[in-house]
Structure 1
Amino acid sequence: MLKLSFTPLSTTFPTKIIPLRLLKSIINTSSQAPQTVQQNDTTMSTNKPLHKLPPKSAYIHLPFCRKRCHYCDFPIIALGSSSAPEEDPRILNYIQTHCREIKAASLNSNPNPSLEMVFFGGGTPSLVSLVLETLSFKFGVSLEAAMSMEMDPGMFDGGKLKELMELGVNRVSLGVQAFQDGLLKACGRAHGVKEIYKAIDSVKACGVENWSLDLISSLSHQTPEMWEGSLKLTIQAHPTHVSVYDLQVEKDTKFGVL
């Protein structure tokens, strides 16, 4: 799906004027004959290898959902209606493997600077503490790190969110997608509008100041009035960020074979 992200902020960018001397330099440089492959290879071989910068961020994907959405072509594991995903052996095995890979990662500098950003994607927050402990041991995690968590309505409550916040999570990305039960059911989402409002209430009650709301446009049977309604309800929820995904039907998905 194509993604459009925006933050409710108006910014004016001044026009940048290129100084005449710099413009002449650009013209002179572009007029020079390009190096041959042999010349370029010689130049590259005499230079020192580029310094590999140490990592400043980490993305951890948790590919577990209650069910597969009709537009989803990602490799996931559908857990069904399991009430305790942390006890599912498939998740435990995945997390343990992930942690082994983190521990085996090579470091490009010593000491390595702490991570400044950590993002958990997938929508089902499970065994996050073990991953964060491993990241902190291997790379270090800054006390001021931006730590985001993708979460689906119906997959957490206030208690779960507070536990994540105590671990350092300070941003939530909420996968709402639409504010109409019919549309949510038609695209195979596991939650309904009731769960959406509960999730938004939990985010606000827990004091999450930085949170994002995801929507999907161009859904089948989505009328302009429905889209306008979702936008109005999104504005009323007052998220700090909104991401809009324009639906693209992929083959081998349920939408793709209809």
Structure 2
Amino acid sequence: MTTNTNGRPPEAVYIHIPFCTNKCFYCDFNSYVLKDQPVMDYLEALDREMEQTVKNTPPGVIKTIFVGGGTPTVLKPDEMAYFLKSVRTHFPNWDKDIEFSMEANPGTTDIDKLTVMKEGGVNRVSFGVQAFQNELLTGIGRIHNVDDVYRSLENARAVGLNNLSVDLMFGLPNQTVEMLGESIRKALELDLPHYSIYSLKVEENTLFHTLFNKNKLPLPNEEDELQMYLLLMSSMKEAGYNQYEISNFAKPGMESRHNITYWRNEDYYGLGAGAHGYVGRQRHINVKGVNPYVEATRKGLPRLDAYPITEAEAMEDFMMVGLRMHEGVSNEAFQAQFGRSIEDIFAKSLHKMLHAGLLEHEEGTYRLSKQGILFGNDVFAEFVGALTEV
């Protein structure tokens, strides 16, 4: 039996539903096209994994649940109802203000399905919109169109789901700064509590990677991509949204509490094929394929790999993920987790980043400067291996 690093049992749950209607051209997530997949077998396997997990590591009061994918909303209403009942059965003790998020694709959320989701406890939905130009959506392999976005949000509100977020992307093939500006304007007109806006990364094992290597991926140049990010930050600020993390913007109090769990390097269960979890300073990754995962759950926990995180690695992780947030990392939180001061451990890296003007420091807290936000990866890289190489 394991408990977590601060002595409390885990209070956050991530669950992976690996099915999608189709594979987007940029996606390297563990996901599989839905056709002919054994969906009910998978949901029963998830139920078994939940049962074994809570036996092995009993949960605390659950504060956040996040269902990602794939596209969890490709589940049919009866499958969704079965899945949500499993979650409630094995994690029965919910905080009264639980944040229960589910990712959704526009076009996969009719009223019936959203009703089942709401009745099953889901109270926050994150829609993968990506852009408000149909030609860009087609060019990245999305199967929804802009009309689907409006209809899906209308359906969600109709069943009483109002804590909604949309994802947008920038740096897409053939996207201009003006196009991003239009997407941001249209997204802000929706008046949602939360927006996640990411730059495209060309990942290995994707169609985009193949095209990129053949010089056939018409990406914006670096200058345009920088202008996109600056436009995005100024537009969101002007509209009253806090940039509480490098790629995330929220109305005050509407930040994604589940993601903040990751950025604070706190414990969470990771359930489902290919899911990652972090409990008691031990990380694990599950078996990835659908059928191998189903089989593995019949024999025990479906682990592909599990390994302890050394204190040095945990300290590095704390800095890398914590500095993504606007609030930065505090000496107090570092000391609470590790019993030592942040300056004792990272004096050299902190001094270097402060001197470069990429970090700022006040009252025991380090955070990215305005310039640091633009060069975040350089700052995070400074802490990768800073201790483990010694």
- What TM-score do the two structures reach when normalised by structure 1? 0.72
Match of 1:67 among 16, 22, 26: 22
Q: How does 1:236-247 map to 2 (within 5 A)?
A: 236-247=189-200
Secondary structure of the corresponding residue to residue 146 of structure 1: strand
Deviations 1:160-208 (A, max 9, x none): 1112101111111011000000000000001111211111211222222
- The reply on whether 1:195 has 2:148 as its aligned counterpart is yes
Deviation (angstroms), 1:213: 0.8
- The reply on whether 1:136 has 2:80 as its aligned counterpart is no
In the alignment, the residues of structure 1 paired with residue 173 and residue 37 of structure 2 have an alpha-carbon distance, to the nearest angstrom, of: 36
Decide which structure has the larger Cα Rg and report it. Answer: 1
Contact 1:53 1:108 in 2 (8 A): no
| Structure 2 equivalent of residue 159 of structure 1 | 112
In the alignment, the residues of structure 2 paired with residue 93 and residue 206 of structure 1 have an alpha-carbon distance, to the nearest angstrom, of: 29
In the alignment, the residues of structure 1 paired with residue 19 and residue 88 of structure 2 have an alpha-carbon distance, to the nearest angstrom, of: 23
Deviations 1:198-257 (A, max 9, x none): 112112222222110100110010011110000000000111100011101112211111
Match of 2:44 among 90, 96, 102: 96
Contact 2:68 2:102 in 1 (8 A): yes
Instruction: Give the AA of the match of 2:90.
Output: K
Using the TM superposition, name which of 232-241 and 50-59 deviates more: 50-59
Identity in percent: 36
Q: How does 1:43-62 map to 2 (within 5 A)?
A: 52-62=7-17
Secondary structure of the corresponding residue to residue 172 of structure 1: strand
* Count of residue correspondences: 201
In the alignment, the residues of structure 2 paired with residue 136 and residue 159 of structure 1 have an alpha-carbon distance, to the nearest angstrom, of: 20
- Give the number of the structure with larger relative contact order, counting CA–CA contacts within 8 Å between residues 6 or more apart: 1
In the alignment, the residues of structure 1 paired with residue 7 and residue 80 of structure 2 have an alpha-carbon distance, to the nearest angstrom, of: 28
| Structure 2 equivalent of residue 216 of structure 1 | 169
In the alignment, the residues of structure 2 paired with residue 139 and residue 198 of structure 1 have an alpha-carbon distance, to the nearest angstrom, of: 32
Deviation (angstroms), 1:150: 0.5
| Structure 2 equivalent of residue 149 of structure 1 | 102
Q: Which runs of 4+ in 1 moved over 6 A?
A: none
Deviation (angstroms), 1:137: 2.8
Secondary structure of the corresponding residue to residue 250 of structure 1: coil
Instruction: Give the AA of the match of 2:26.
Output: Y
Instruction: Give the AA of the match of 2:31.
Output: I
Secondary structure of the corresponding residue to residue 221 of structure 1: coil
Instruction: Give the AA of the match of 1:164.
Output: M
> Do the aligned partners of residues 50 and 185 (structure 1) sit closer, same or farther apart at CA in structure 2, a change above 3 Å counting?
closer
Instruction: Give the AA of the match of 1:100.
Output: R
Contact 1:177 1:214 in 2 (8 A): yes
Deviation (angstroms), 1:131: 3.2
Gaps of 5+ in 1: 1-48, 81-87
Deviations 1:80-120 (A, max 9, x none): 5xxxxxxx6521121111111111113446xx533221111
In the alignment, the residues of structure 2 paired with residue 160 and residue 128 of structure 1 have an alpha-carbon distance, to the nearest angstrom, of: 8
Secondary structure of the corresponding residue to residue 169 of structure 1: coil
Secondary structure of the corresponding residue to residue 38 of structure 2: helix
| Structure 2 equivalent of residue 3 of structure 1 | none
| Structure 2 equivalent of residue 41 of structure 1 | none
Deviations 1:125-183 (A, max 9, x none): 22333333333333324262211110000111122111210111111101100000000
Contact 1:249 1:256 in 2 (8 A): yes
RMSD: 2.0
In the alignment, the residues of structure 1 paired with residue 93 and residue 199 of structure 2 have an alpha-carbon distance, to the nearest angstrom, of: 34
| Structure 1 equivalent of residue 33 of structure 2 | 78
Using the TM superposition, name which of 235-244 and 89-98 deviates more: 89-98
Contact 2:62 2:95 in 1 (8 A): no
Contact 1:135 1:141 in 2 (8 A): no
Instruction: Give the AA of the match of 1:115.
Output: I
Instruction: Give the AA of the match of 2:14.
Output: Y
Contact 2:171 2:199 in 1 (8 A): yes
In the alignment, the residues of structure 2 paired with residue 134 and residue 114 of structure 1 have an alpha-carbon distance, to the nearest angstrom, of: 17
Using the TM superposition, name which of 133-142 and 173-182 deviates more: 133-142
Instruction: Give the AA of the match of 1:156.
Output: T
In the alignment, the residues of structure 2 paired with residue 158 and residue 138 of structure 1 have an alpha-carbon distance, to the nearest angstrom, of: 27
